[in-house]
Amino acid sequence: MLSLYIHIPFCVKKCLYCGFYSTPYTADSADSFVSALGLEAARSRDRFSDRIFDTLYIGGGTPTALSCGQLELVFRTIREQFRISGDAECTVEANPNSITSEGLALLIDIGVNRLSIGVQSFSEGILRTLGRLHTAEEAAEAVRQARSAGFRNIGIDLIYGVPGQTCSDWKHSLESALALTPEHISVYGLSLDEGTWFASEAEAGRLLLPDDEAVVTMSAFAVAALMEAGYGHYEISNFARPGFACRHNVNYWERGAYLGIGPGASSFLDGRRFSNSMDNEEYCRRLHAGLSSVVMSETIEPSQAAAEAVMLGLRMEKGVDLARFGQEHGASALECLTSKGKRLAHSGLASLSPGRLRLTEHGMQLSDSVIARLTA
Amino acid sequence: MADKRIRNFCIIAHIDHGKSTLADRILEYTGALSDREMAAAGSDQVLDDMDLERERGITIKAHAVHLRYAASDGQDYILNLIDTPGHVDFTYEVSRSMAACEGALLVVDATQGVEAQTLANVYLALDHNLEIIPVINKIDLPSADIDETKKQIEEVIGLDSSGAIPASAKEGKGTDAVLDAIVKIVPPPTGGADAPLRALLFDSWYDTYQGVVVLARVVDGTVRPGQKISLFSTGAVHEVQSVGVFTPKMLKTDELSCGEVGYIIAGIKRVADAKIGDTVMDVDRPAEQPLPGYKDVKPMVFAGLYPVNSDDYEELKDALEKLRLNDSSFSYEPETSLALGFGFRCGFLGLLHMDIIKERLEREFKLALIPTAPTVVYRVTKNNGEVILVDNPARLPSVQDIQRIEEPYIVASIITPELYVGPLIALCQERRGVQKEISYITKDRVLIRYELPLNEIVMDFYDRLKSLTKGYASLDYELSGNVESNLVKLDMLLNGEPVDALSLITHRDKAAIRGRQLTEKLRSVIPRQLYEVIIQAAIGSKIISRETVKPLRKNVTSKCYGGDISRKRKLLEKQKEGKKKMKQVGSIELPQEAFLAVLKME
């Protein structure tokens, strides 16, 4: 598997909980970015001249913050520089407030076949708390529009554990999402990322977060409701109807190769991981000056590779394929993993079915601690 | 006869009353150190040569400096300044240094007055018949009260203070008067120049190049290179390689004769073979009697020291060996704990001594250590009549085998501003103390004497005393003997399993409250884990308190995509480092704080 990720660093407005880098959209900075992206793609093309990308994912930021012309140019550039498989999964992330029928038609036209919509909540109060720019009805309308524009694979993102959120708020959001029959639903527990307004408010004690018990209840409710509705819990935060798991993301968790372009994008190729400058201006400056946009690069050592395989593999329902793990990381790493796995299985956090180590639902809720044990 | 122009003296002072600064001024005034050398030493005091001593403002190792002084009577005198350790744990060492002197400067801070330690050391000096010259220091400070300080010296100590010398060691005021007083008041040494050699060993240390360096005061006779000497307590024979003095630089001399103070190097391999207080004798012409006062010092406080990272065991062993080279007063032997793995049971003279050793291990040898609760030596009589000494709670026989247990008691002398008498009495009562004396030494300072079990003060008594009195009270203590007590072993259980490193011996009346405190403390320091942790305190099979650390409910990274993987893995690696600092006991991960919890009473 080989995946291509394009990072679009613009947002109309930054959400209060979002820890990702983004910069306000202006036509000029977006033009400069699009041309820099072209330069970066051109620098990479030779390395991939004989390889075909199986998935393409355009994320951000808010890709749909770009103008239709700019989006089209991005796509044209990518198709010129890289070979994308004919049956590739091509995802674009979108926000309800930046979805237009014109934009949707364009996306379909240029070959996008999966739309991931950042809905977050169907409760007005929670949307306001999160600093979103759309209403619940606008979110639902965006999903319906996407459907009528021809999207057969639509994903919705939801957040739980938001300050002021009650279990019934959450239930309402889940039910509203299900009513729209998306193929894919991601449910994220709110995390207080460094540098966000939420984090500083929480630090100051001004954020009334739901307690641990409530959060656990919300998470358990989501799992139960979504599974009941026919969605598979294929990764800690991701649910999909059969056949609709996001192939692009699964490739990350299987430690497949990927090329990332755009500010802050990471790549993983031939045992090295490297990433671009986060800062859009610096990213553009470097590329326009004929320099590489890569600012961080590391070789993943064998022990680190094994730790990553456990850390990522156990995020998925199917868990870690032990035979493959042994082949890739050696017999002693395998032995260590299985012996620790056995102990965790004993206490109901993991299961060790023939050939696979996976986390139970309980283990998934505690995956950070469980993984820390398994890789210690 | 000994040389009439020798004066051997030491300086008695409470911590921070200015002993080292005064010593520096004396060195400077007598020209032992040039201004340039003083400047090179910076603001650090010359006699304190270990970082630790400087930081704590105390002097651990005794030194002796040989000074020449042209007195006002036109004669040249030799002054030997013998520095003494300044803490209660080292009383014996102090007493041996004093035995090498004929006089002492008593330095009292004019802003602080007489402290408990001053008092204890003055009594020690009086026991050794030293001439005491009071020096009232820090008169440059605005809050200095010379008259009040004089009054305290008279009333509290009972010394005539009419001749007390006002001084400011910091500004160099009064140094000349101090030196003149030393010459006039301190008597010259006595002793027989022609008598068989007897020299008092009052300090020794290990030098990588020269082996053990012995500091001694020649009481009778003469010692010179080539001479065969022996130490009375060991009987081992050594040949003197060189002798000399510290000026403070090491300076070889032809001999050390009666009354003189200096070093002897005689190919002694271990500090343990050059014990403080021992008598150096001439093998060919042995004296009939050794010098009085020798004691084989035994550790009073024991604690386990374990490496946080079990791979550091060998390093810890090497480090202990190296430290022991220079400090024969602490002991160590291998010990195994179910909870902590391989470590050592170490014996110390007292609490400060323990802190110093632990800090040196951590600082000089970069070792991360977990100490177990310090314990005293219990004398246990078993039902079969056998008497054993127990320095580790884990080795206490089971209740049904014990006929009785005795524990060491001390008498503590505390001098405190009147304001804190209430809290201090409460503290002593709480620690099973029996009041012996309470008296006003001035109108607002009080001397409190309490008889206390040593095991009640080895924990955190000193820290508590200091914090209760904002640092104003001072403490001194001496052993007063063993007393039978109703003692029990308090076990701490985690998920039903006793954790040996957390158990301790305590008085039965205090076991319940101590058990409750400990379970509560452990609950607050043990982080939530994957599993529930049940903490129990038990005496024998009886559970006396219980707490629960609820298991983690949710600990999950919700997003982990292409750009998050490296950061997330690094976080995991960092966590792994953190985990190394945790001790795995069964399936429970215990932070170091859990083991430190038993070191605090409250």
Q: Which residues of B touch A366 (CB under 8 A)?
A: 530, 552-556
Judged by CB atoms closer than 8 Å, whether chains meet at A369 and B579 is answered as: no
Segments in A46-188 forming alpha helices (H): 68-81, 101-109, 124-130, 136-149, 167-179
Count of beta carbons in the 10 Å neighbourhood of residue B40: 11
DSSP one-letter code for B156? I
CB B24, CB B122: distance < 8 Å: no
pLDDT tens for A317-347 read 999 999 999 999 999 999 999 999 998 999 8
Quick one: how many helices (H) and strands (E) in chain B?
A: 15, 33
The whole-chain average pLDDT of chain B stands at: 88
Judged by CB atoms closer than 8 Å, whether chains meet at B576 and A213 is answered as: no
B461 pLDDT band, cuts 50/70/90, is confident
Q: Which chain A residue has the Cα nearest residue B580?
A: A376
Judged by CB atoms closer than 8 Å, whether chains meet at B557 and A367 is answered as: yes
- Residues B397-402 have a mean pLDDT of 90
Q: Which residues of A touch B575 (CB under 8 A)?
A: 372
Residues in chain A, how many? Answer: 376
Q: What CA–CA distance (Å, rounded) separates A203 from B481?
A: 55
Residue B137, judged by CB atoms within 10 A of its CB (0-12, 13-18, 19+), counts as buried
Q: From the CA of A68, how many Å to the nearest CA of chain B?
A: 26
Judged by CB atoms closer than 8 Å, whether chains meet at A191 and B558 is answered as: yes
- Residue B553 forms contact with A (CB below 8 Å): yes
Place of tokens 């002054």: B79
Q: From the CA of A58, how many Å to the nearest CA of chain B?
A: 12
Q: Which chain B residue has the Cα nearest residue A188?
A: B558
Judged by CB atoms closer than 8 Å, whether chains meet at B572 and A191 is answered as: no
Q: Which residues of B touch A376 (CB under 8 A)?
A: 576, 579
CB A226, CB A174: distance < 8 Å: yes
Q: What CA–CA distance (Å, rounded) separates A375 from B5?
A: 74
Q: What CA–CA distance (Å, rounded) separates B140 from B169?
A: 9
For residue B42, what pLDDT is reported?
46
CB B240, CB B224: distance < 8 Å: yes
Q: Which residues of B touch A157 (CB under 8 A)?
A: none
Q: From the CA of B45, how many Å to the nearest CA of chain A?
A: 46
Picking from A216, A266, A347, the nearest residue to B563 by CB comes out as A266
Picking from A216, A252, A368, the nearest residue to B562 by CB comes out as A252
The answer to which of A86-90, A372-376, B133-137 has the lowest mean pLDDT is A372-376
pLDDT tens for A163-193 read 999 999 999 999 999 999 999 999 999 999 8
The answer on pLDDT for B82 being more than 50 is yes
Picking from B557, B565, B566, the nearest residue to A368 by CB comes out as B557
List C-alpha distances in Å: B71 to B106, B178, B181.
Answer: 21, 11, 10
For residue B114, what pLDDT is reported?
85
- Residues B575-584 have a mean pLDDT of 79
- Residue B562 forms contact with A (CB below 8 Å): yes
For residue B44, what pLDDT is reported?
47
Instruction: Please name the amino acid found at residue B57.
Output: G
Judged by CB atoms closer than 8 Å, whether chains meet at A367 and B573 is answered as: no
Count of beta carbons in the 10 Å neighbourhood of residue B484: 11
Residues in chain B, how many? Answer: 602
B602 pLDDT band, cuts 50/70/90, is low
Cis peptide leading into B248, omega within 30 of 0? yes
Judged by CB atoms closer than 8 Å, whether chains meet at B559 and A308 is answered as: no
CB A267, CB A258: distance < 8 Å: yes
Q: Which CATH class is domain A302-375?
A: mainly alpha
Count of beta carbons in the 10 Å neighbourhood of residue A281: 15
Judged by CB atoms closer than 8 Å, whether chains meet at B553 and A212 is answered as: yes
For residue B39, what pLDDT is reported?
53
Instruction: Please give the ipTM for the structure prediction.
Output: 0.94
Topology alike, domains A2-253 and A302-375: no
pLDDT tens for A66-121 read 999 999 999 999 999 999 999 999 999 999 998 999 999 999 999 999 999 999 99
Judged by CB atoms closer than 8 Å, whether chains meet at B576 and A275 is answered as: no
Q: What CA–CA distance (Å, rounded) separates B187 from B200?
A: 18
CB A78, CB A84: distance < 8 Å: yes
- Residues B12-30 have a mean pLDDT of 85
Interface with A, mutate which of B528, B553, B564 (most A CBs under 10 A): B553
Picking from B531, B557, B565, the nearest residue to A308 by CB comes out as B565
The answer to which of B372-376, B381-385, B428-432 has the lowest mean pLDDT is B372-376
Q: From the CA of A109, how many Å to the nearest CA of chain B?
A: 27
Q: From the CA of A350, how many Å to the nearest CA of chain B?
A: 12
B60 pLDDT band, cuts 50/70/90, is very low
For residue B583, what pLDDT is reported?
82
DSSP one-letter code for B131? E
For residue B597, what pLDDT is reported?
80
Judged by CB atoms closer than 8 Å, whether chains meet at B576 and A375 is answered as: yes
Judged by CB atoms closer than 8 Å, whether chains meet at B554 and A347 is answered as: no
CB A180, CB A155: distance < 8 Å: no
Q: How many CB pairs under 8 A join A and B?
A: 100
The answer on pLDDT for B13 being more than 90 is no
Judged by CB atoms closer than 8 Å, whether chains meet at B579 and A372 is answered as: yes
Segments in B389-437 forming alpha helices (H): 421-430
Q: From the CA of A334, how many Å to the nearest CA of chain B?
A: 19
Picking from B555, B561, B576, the nearest residue to A376 by CB comes out as B576
CB B597, CB B521: distance < 8 Å: yes
Angle at B551 between CA B545 and CA B554, to 5 degrees: 155
Picking from A219, A253, A371, the nearest residue to B572 by CB comes out as A371
In which element (H, E) is residue B463 found? Answer: helix B461-468
- Residues B67-72 have a mean pLDDT of 91
For residue A225, what pLDDT is reported?
97
Picking from B553, B556, B569, the nearest residue to A307 by CB comes out as B569
pLDDT tens for A256-298 read 999 999 999 999 999 999 999 999 999 999 999 999 999 999 9
- DSSP secondary structure letters along B29-40: HTTSS-HHHHHH
Picking from A267, A349, A368, the nearest residue to B556 by CB comes out as A368
Structure-token pair, residue A1: 């598997």
Interface with A, mutate which of B531, B565, B587 (most A CBs under 10 A): B565
- DSSP secondary structure letters along B335-398: EEETTTEEEEEEEESSHHHHHHHHHHHHHHS---EEEPPPB--EEEEETTS-EEEE-SGGGPPP
The answer on pLDDT for B146 being more than 50 is yes
Helix (H, G, I), strand (E, B) or coil at A345: helix
CB B26, CB B247: distance < 8 Å: no
The answer to which of B60-64, B182-186, B361-365, B571-575 has the lowest mean pLDDT is B60-64
Place of tokens 């314990």: B375
Interface with B, mutate which of A283, A311, A336, A342 (most B CBs under 10 A): A311
The CATH number of domain A2-253, selected from 3.40.50.300, 1.10.1740.10, 3.40.605.10, 3.20.20.70: 3.20.20.70
pLDDT tens for A33-70 read 999 999 999 999 999 999 999 999 999 889 999 999 99
- Residue B559 forms contact with A (CB below 8 Å): yes
Q: Tell me the backbone φ, ψ of residue B311, rounded to 5 degrees.
A: -65, -15
Q: From the CA of B498, how many Å to the nearest CA of chain A?
A: 22
Picking from A268, A298, A366, the nearest residue to B556 by CB comes out as A366
More confident residue, B569 or B48: B569
Question: Domain map of chain A by residue range?
Answer: 2-253, 302-375
For residue B327, what pLDDT is reported?
81
- Residue B532 forms contact with A (CB below 8 Å): no
Judged by CB atoms closer than 8 Å, whether chains meet at B563 and A264 is answered as: yes
Q: From the CA of B560, how many Å to the nearest CA of chain A?
A: 8
Q: Which residues of A touch B568 (CB under 8 A)?
A: 311
Q: Which residues of A touch B553 (CB under 8 A)?
A: 212-213, 215-216, 365-366
Q: Tell me the backbone φ, ψ of residue A12, rounded to 5 degrees.
A: -70, -40
Q: Which chain B residue has the Cα nearest residue A310?
A: B569
Q: Which chain B residue has the Cα nearest residue A347?
A: B531
Q: Which chain B residue has the Cα nearest residue A300?
A: B566
Judged by CB atoms closer than 8 Å, whether chains meet at A219 and B561 is answered as: no
Judged by CB atoms closer than 8 Å, whether chains meet at A311 and B568 is answered as: yes
Q: What CA–CA distance (Å, rounded) separates A88 from B18?
A: 82
Instruction: Please name the amino acid found at residue B374.
Output: P
- Residue B576 forms contact with A (CB below 8 Å): yes
B35 pLDDT band, cuts 50/70/90, is low
In which element (H, E) is residue A23 found? Answer: strand A23-24
Q: From the CA of A361, how many Å to the nearest CA of chain B?
A: 11
CB B145, CB B110: distance < 8 Å: yes
- Residues B251-265 have a mean pLDDT of 94
pLDDT tens for B286-314 read 999 999 988 888 888 999 999 988 889 99
